[in-house]
Structure 1
Amino acid sequence: MKEMAVNYSYFERSGYRVIRTHVSNIVSEVIKKPVCSTNNYGINGGFFASNNYTAPPTSGLSISYDGTTQNPGSNAGGTRNRGTFFTYLDNGVTKAGITRCTTIPNLKQQVGNLQFKTIIGGGSFHLTGSKEQFEAIHEEEQWSVHAGIPATRRAGLGFKNESNGVYAYLVTSTVWKTLYNLRDFFKDDLACNNAIFLDGDGSVQMQVYANGELIKADGTDPSPGRYVWNMVKLINKN
């Protein structure tokens, strides 16, 4: 029997699945396959280009940096200034931030040449501002993804400064939601400091061991799910 996880926790609330783990325990990994076809725990990552969802994507459209890969991509080929989640070491402690950027060099221009551990591109939720400010930024980021209706399945990644460190919240919806709904969940229910949205609709996937079983939420496409470019992975899944 598998023992209870000590490096993450899992819960379901308000139509969402949530993995909570310290930010030092997440990394973006390019997989080019369904999340549930890997041995990893985590959720789907950012946006990508694909001609066939049952075959590996042709390219990533959101930054996916794992701390070592020399060619981590960019946000929409470096043409879109979009919300990007990053973790970094500060005096031996892993912390997190979110900044809008086009490429990693552009990110460094804004926040400095930090000791980055992982960088994950997506879209801004701008939890620190008003709903109107979020709408304006969403427009600036030039998304075809509508913030409101029609609703669909959603995925996102947030962070929260807690008393014993900075924690990441990996979230997917179990029912159809708007981006407004997911933003409110990060802001009001989870009280995150900030968050980004990740790819949605049929790309939404999660795999995690919880409640005595391996949860394989493989999305709306036929099992084992849609081929995605990258995922947000738990480094230690015990």
Structure 2
Amino acid sequence: MAINYTYSTWKRIPAQLEPYHIIRTGASNVKPETILRPVHNTTYMGINGGFFAADEGYNRPPTASRSIAWAEEDENQTITVEGRTLSKNYLYNGTSANPLSRKTFFIYRNSSGVSTPAYMYASSANDVFGNYGKANVRMIVGGTDFNESSWGTSYNLPLKRTAVSFQGTSVYLMVIASATIPVLRSDIENMGLSPTNTVILDGSNSTQMNVEANGQWIQAPRLSDRYVFNMLRLRNAF
């Protein structure tokens, strides 16, 4: 059976200490998965997902999401980790009482039934459903954009970053150990990808990737034990 993803690294210059780690796969092979634990403590391949609330610190399951996390097959499903039970799907960027319009990545079935990646600014999953029809939407994950107003003081800080980008029906899941937001934008352009078709996910010490390559299990960019709400993962890895 053919492998349905590729793993690669990319550096802006040869002397760059740590590269970008990139998983490329088809749009039909990507979904958010609510995990309530570190990405590295799962058997899934993928990257950490959206923003979340950690009212009890980062060594316990998150108390709530703060970004949309919705997958069609997880409707009305729950997950329990270390005694905390939460819905797998979360419908808002921000909270239901204070939804925020943020750049949001989603995959829908086009008129030919092909899984197609896209983005829009959305406050809730219903914004996406209203534009594309709930029956056509496969998954949604909220993030944010490259605008300085979206980041405040962290805009120019070299932090770990996580992003999802798309080109045609290919989706790129990526993490980097250190980049400012302007550098991240420039690097994505230099990779041949489009910042317009890129959504930035939660970063800093939430940045985590799991992937198997050449018979080895890679945890990148550096091992983190931070609990996260959800991840973007491969539905199948073979």
- Amino acid in structure 1 at the alignment position of 2:214: N
Aligned match of 1:146: 154
| Greater Cα offset, 212-221 or 86-95 | 212-221
How far apart are the structure 1 equivalents of 2:181 and 2:133? Answer: 30
1:83 matched to 2:103? The reply is: yes
How far apart are the structure 2 equivalents of 1:144 and 1:57? Answer: 23
1:97 matched to 2:115? The reply is: no
- Amino acid in structure 1 at the alignment position of 2:39: V
TM-score, normalised by the number of residues in structure 2: 0.83
| Residues 7, 145 of structure 1: alpha-carbon distance in 2 compared, 3 angstrom cutoff | farther
- Amino acid in structure 2 at the alignment position of 1:35: V
Aligned match of 1:199: 202
Unpaired segments of 5 or more residues in structure 1?
Answer: 126-134
Aligned match of 2:191: 189
> Which of 18, 26, 31 lines up with 1:27 in the alignment?
31
How far apart are the structure 1 equivalents of 2:91 and 2:129? Answer: 15
Aligned match of 1:38: 42
How far apart are the structure 2 equivalents of 1:113 and 1:35? Answer: 28
- Amino acid in structure 1 at the alignment position of 2:7: Y
| Residues 178, 114 of structure 1: alpha-carbon distance in 2 compared, 3 angstrom cutoff | farther
Displacement after TM superposition at 1:145 (Å): 6.3
Q: Give runs of aligned pairs for residues 102-121 of structure 1, distance below 5 A.
A: 102-113=123-134, 115-121=136-142
Matched pairs, number: 213
Give aligned-pair identity as a percent.
33
TM-score, normalised by the number of residues in structure 1: 0.83
> Which of 153, 159, 162 lines up with 2:166 in the alignment?
159
Deviations 1:120-179 (A, max 9, x none): 100124xxxxxxxxx3xx52xx5446322x210100001001xxxx10000000x31011
How far apart are the structure 2 equivalents of 1:145 and 1:122? Answer: 17
RMSD: 2.0
Aligned match of 1:54: 59
How far apart are the structure 1 equivalents of 2:173 and 2:153? Answer: 20
| Residues 95, 64 of structure 1: alpha-carbon distance in 2 compared, 3 angstrom cutoff | same
